Structure 1
Amino acid sequence: MAAMEDVLEVYHRPYDETRPLVCLDEASKQLIGETVVPIPAAPGRLERFDHEYVRNGTANLFMVTMPLLGWRAVHVTERRTALDFAEVVRWLVEEVHEEAEKVVLVMDNLNTHKIASLYEAFPPERARRIAGKLEIHHTPKHGSWLNMAEIELSVLARQCLDRRIESSEELKREVAAWEEDRNERMVGIRWQFTTADARIKLHRLYPATQ
């Protein structure tokens, strides 16, 4: 409960450009190729695909979102490693929010989502400098629904990824188009669940006290 209330408190802070709120999550996408060229759509007929396909491996998607500003960025990588995670965090700290005092980062407890990953990727002085600009808040175990980046991933899956995509290059193009459109419209997330709500609706999960 402590981790949940910690994240909920962060979500209800007013916007502060010196301490921007960033949510981070990741997901994989199976790359699927066609064995037969699909039949294009025609008036009164949908595009047709053969039931057979070829697996072209998987790609990983890092979702980074600033829900208070209606902004997100998706990084497509070949793998899900500590080095890939560290590079996304470095980009956030050194490029996107170079002038910020701290980057308030909400993420889950995936094994690579640790400060230690920075030390695997960069010299210790640089890793320490990046870590020093982070204020990290982990969602609780089995509490990934508290991460607003997961909401963005769900929207991405419905609007962009719910079909066969053959290669990483195609995936990057499609994701970039989705990202650009959503950012231009500044689609935000209206988070309304509060600590008070949690104490009422999830009271059974709290330890009993005398």
Structure 2
Amino acid sequence: MGISPTSVGNIWRAFGLQPWRTEDFKISTDPLLIDKIRDVVGLYLSPPAHAAVFAVDEKPQIQALQRSAPVLPMLPGVPERRSFDYVRHGTVDLFAALNTATGKVIGKLSARHRAIDFRDFLEEIDRQVEPGLAVHLICDNLSSHKAPVVHAWLLAHPRFTLHFTPTYSSWINQVERWFAELERRCLERGNFCSLDALKTALEEWIKSWNEDAKPFKWTRTADQILDRICRYCDRISKPAH
């Protein structure tokens, strides 16, 4: 077109364009999509009285990685640099329950994330939540959340109610936002010489978070979310030009 790369870059910056960026999306095929969105968003925007609402999930296979060389801090004009190779000292799974009203997190480390481990985590939540409160847990559709051992535990603890998110809809579970903070502020730049060092770092970070916890603010209504999904469906159903 006879335009220099510098001019193209100036035009992109002037109009806030970033054509190299892409994002993925997945439309849920859950037949109960509408009901589940209204249920979960209702818990965020209008939580029931005399109840605690938790967004719950597991972060599996967190790796204890030890870099082969120290991290070099950033300098003017030079980004932080980390060695490409590392030693892997094992993995641990983290169960987390984010209190949507307070932002505080109940965490439990586990070697695995089987149904029996999820049941044990429910026991931990039961111990830490005031006895007089009903407990609503927002979970995804992982099979371990619906296993017979979990179902039997729930029957024995009637104050607990599980609310399932639509399939392919992790974005609606607020604990995923907390996991992103954990990854960015604790794990991404971490250097762990052992699995025990990783476990200690996770426990200390959760403790530090809870000392100054703030809830994430949910603003979208169920109707706004459903309208956006409908617009996406309308766009992808039209023939490509």
TM category, shorter: 0.7 to 0.9
Q: Distance in 1 between matches of 2:71 and 2:122?
A: 42
Partner of 2:206: 179
Aligned length: 198
SS in 2 for 1:191: coil
Shift of 1:167: 3.0
* Paired-residue identity, %: 26
* Aligned ranges 1:23-172 → 2 under 5 Å: 23-28=55-60, 29-34=62-67, 36=68, 38=70, 50-93=83-126, 95-114=127-146, 116-118=148-150, 128-130=155-157, 132-163=158-189, 164-172=191-199
TM-score normalised by the chain length of structure 1: 0.80
TM-score normalised by the chain length of structure 2: 0.71
Aligned residues of 1:38 and 1:47 also touching (Cα < 8 A): no
Q: Distance in 2 between matches of 1:3 and 1:15?
A: 16
Q: Distance in 2 between matches of 1:10 and 1:206?
A: 26
Counterpart AA for 1:84 = D
Counterpart AA for 1:198 = I
Which runs of 5 or more residues in structure 2 are unaligned?
A: 1-33, 235-241
Q: Distance in 2 between matches of 1:181 and 1:81?
A: 28
Structural RMSD (CA) = 3.0
Larger RCO (alpha carbons 8 Å, 6+ apart): 1
Residue number among 189, 193, 206 corresponding to 2:216 in the alignment: 189
Q: Distance in 2 between matches of 1:194 and 1:39?
A: 43
Shift of 1:133: 2.2
Q: Distance in 1 between matches of 2:166 and 2:149?
A: 20
SS in 2 for 1:62: strand
